[in-house]
């Protein structure tokens, strides 16, 4: 199997490395910034291309792993592509590829940062395709990468993506805000790391609603007020503190 | 060493078990609900007491591990206590014990749920005491429980506790909200578990600000608007979505 990857961001990078690991040939990598394509290509024995005109139309799969709003720009260059065209986005409908022959979605429900290696073994790979044969080819490839392959249509994928924003992007931002609180008082973020680990570990077997802790769920008004006092000089943090505490109280 | 534990909640339970493991004798357990004291006492070879008058005044340490606003109620019964009195709260000043002989704080910076076992090995144990000898005794005990023992005064402890609310309590609530989003569409929370794990794993070595992902940090207005559309029927989720997305944008 021979694939082309459009993109050199977090998802493209991890996907390219994971594919290379299972001996898929990465024929070409294109990126809006050519030097990034070269960087990634060097890591996965691929060839960096400068323009979309150079895409190898005989490749088996083209992964479009670029910013959501840039996807339409590629499509014109993929009209003659003989294999399968997939994007890797949580939020973009499959019908963006309407008019192509074989296409689909290959969405890894995970957070990727270039600086951190990770295994694809348990990453949910959410697949969708415009025909059964295409779906089967994507499934065969995906099961080589992960034990967690599922078929998800565009509507459900949008919901998964939205839920992931709460569980991951917003969560990481709360870590940042916690870090801000500590920095303000010359305390180091590392002290929170065991707590952050355990918070995630707890919900690996439990439902989060059943393991909520803290002053808001205990209705501990005294502590809530003390915390709000501490945040008086940081109105944005105070607003988030109040909003989330009130939201927790409603789950009591 | 012989200790008394007042309380039978999440912290008291885990602390009692951890102390028992290192062969500290738990002499007595008191709880506002006697049956809970009996339950916990059975687990750690202790004796459940019905009233605070029964506290063994010759014990070495009395752990006050009850709701913050209930702590003052105990103090009258501890005036004649010969050992050290400590509370385990993040938010209560050490001076609540002013007037006792030897006292301090023994605050484990961790989230505890009765349903989940955990190791104390890496839990930051934040200690404070009203004299050097008391501090040394607490340190000796704490280093038997954890490799992560630190001295923290009441002001800094309050900040740690506030930061922990962001990093843990609010984070767990975001997991709950993600679960709500999924449930609304008959999708299962388990699909988010690898993502939640990786989100926590990423910041074990990195600063959270450096590994932020998602539509808000990319300034991907198209996706942000799609998500807001999906939340139109859930005004509380929509408010949280907007508040946190705006907060992330400010870190760009």
B44 interface with A at CB cutoff 8 Å? no
SS3 of residue A186 by DSSP: coil
The runs of H, that is alpha helices, within A22-131 are 34-43, 71-75
Domain locations in chain A as residue ranges = 2-152, 158-249
Sheet strand arrangement including A2-6: A47-49, A25-30, A2-6, A61-64, A84-87, A102-108, A125-129, A149-151
What stretches in chain B show pLDDT beneath 70?
none
Interface membership of B175 toward A (CB under 8 Å):
yes
Class of domain B158-249: mainly alpha
**B244 with A200: Cβ contact below 8 A:** no
pLDDT at A132 over 90: yes
Helical segments of A48-192, H only: 71-75, 132-145, 154-164, 171-184
B178·A163 Cβ contact <8 A? yes
- Look up tokens 């993929």; give the residue: A78
A84 with A104: CB under 8 angstroms?
yes
| Percent of chain B residues topping a pLDDT of 90 | 95
How close B216 comes to chain A (CA, Å)?
Answer: 9
φ, ψ (nearest 5 deg) of residue A164: -65, -35
Question: Do B2-152 and B158-249 show the same overall fold?
Answer: no
pLDDT digits (tens, 9 = 90+) for B140-165: 999 999 999 999 999 999 999 999 99
Dump strand ranges (E) for B65-153.
84-87, 102-108, 125-129, 149-151
Q: Mark residue A7 as left, alpha or beta (left: phi above 0; alpha: psi -120 to 50; beta: remaining).
A: left
Domain A2-152: CATH superfamily, name plus number: NAD(P)-binding Rossmann-like Domain (3.40.50.720)
What is the DSSP pairing of strand A61-64 with strand A2-6?
Answer: parallel
Q: What is the pLDDT of residue B114?
A: 84
What is the pLDDT at residue B113?
A: 86
Specify the 3-state DSSP secondary structure of A86.
strand
The mean of the pLDDT values for chain A is: 96
The whole-number average pLDDT for the span A98-110 is 97
Q: Which residues of A touch B158 (CB under 8 A)?
A: 226, 230
pLDDT digits 0-9 by tens, A42-75: 999 999 999 999 999 999 999 999 999 899 999 9
pLDDT value at residue B167: 98
- Are A94 and A158 a contacting pair, CB within 8 Å? no
pLDDT band at A116, cuts 50/70/90? confident
Predicted confidence at residue A115, as pLDDT, reads: 84
| pTM beyond 0.90 | yes
CB contact under 8 A, B109 and A172: no
Q: Which pLDDT does position B105 carry in this prediction?
A: 98
Encode pLDDT of A213-243 as tens digits.
999 999 989 899 999 999 999 999 999 999 9
Inform me whether the pLDDT recorded for A157 exceeds 90.
yes
CB atoms near residue B194 (< 10 Å): 23
Tokens representing A40 are: 């990634």
Of B213, B154, B165, nearest to A195 by C-alpha is: B165
């Amino acid at each position: 199997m021979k694939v082309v990857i459009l993109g050199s961001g977090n998802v493209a990078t991890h996907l390219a490395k994971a594919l290379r690991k299972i001996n898929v040939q990465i024929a070409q990598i294109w990126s809006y910034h050519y030097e990034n394509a070269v960087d990634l290509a060097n890591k996965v024995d691929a060839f960096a291309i400068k323009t979309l005109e150079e895409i190898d139309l005989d490749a088996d799969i083209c992964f479009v792993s670029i910013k959501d709003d840039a996807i339409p720009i590629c499509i014109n260059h993929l009209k003659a592509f003989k294999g399968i065209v997939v994007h890797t986005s949580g939020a973009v409908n499959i019908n963006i590829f309407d008019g192509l022959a074989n296409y689909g979605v290959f969405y890894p429900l995970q957070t990727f940062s270039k600086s951190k290696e990770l295994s694809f073994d348990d990453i949910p790979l959410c697949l969708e395709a415009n025909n059964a044969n295409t779906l089967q080819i994507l499934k065969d490839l995906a099961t080589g990468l992960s034990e967690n392959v599922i078929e998800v249509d565009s509507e459900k994928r949008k919901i998964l993506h939205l839920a992931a924003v709460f569980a991951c992007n917003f969560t990481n931002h709360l870590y940042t805000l916690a870090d801000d609180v500590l920095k303000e008082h010359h305390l180091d973020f590392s002290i929170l790391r065991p707590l952050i680990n355990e918070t995630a570990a707890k919900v690996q077997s439990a439902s989060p609603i059943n393991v909520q802790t803290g002053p808001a769920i205990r209705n501990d008004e005294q502590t809530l007020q003390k915390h709000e006092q501490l945040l008086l000089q940081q109105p944005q943090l105070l607003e988030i503190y109040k909003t989330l505490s009130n939201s927790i109280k409603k789950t009591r």
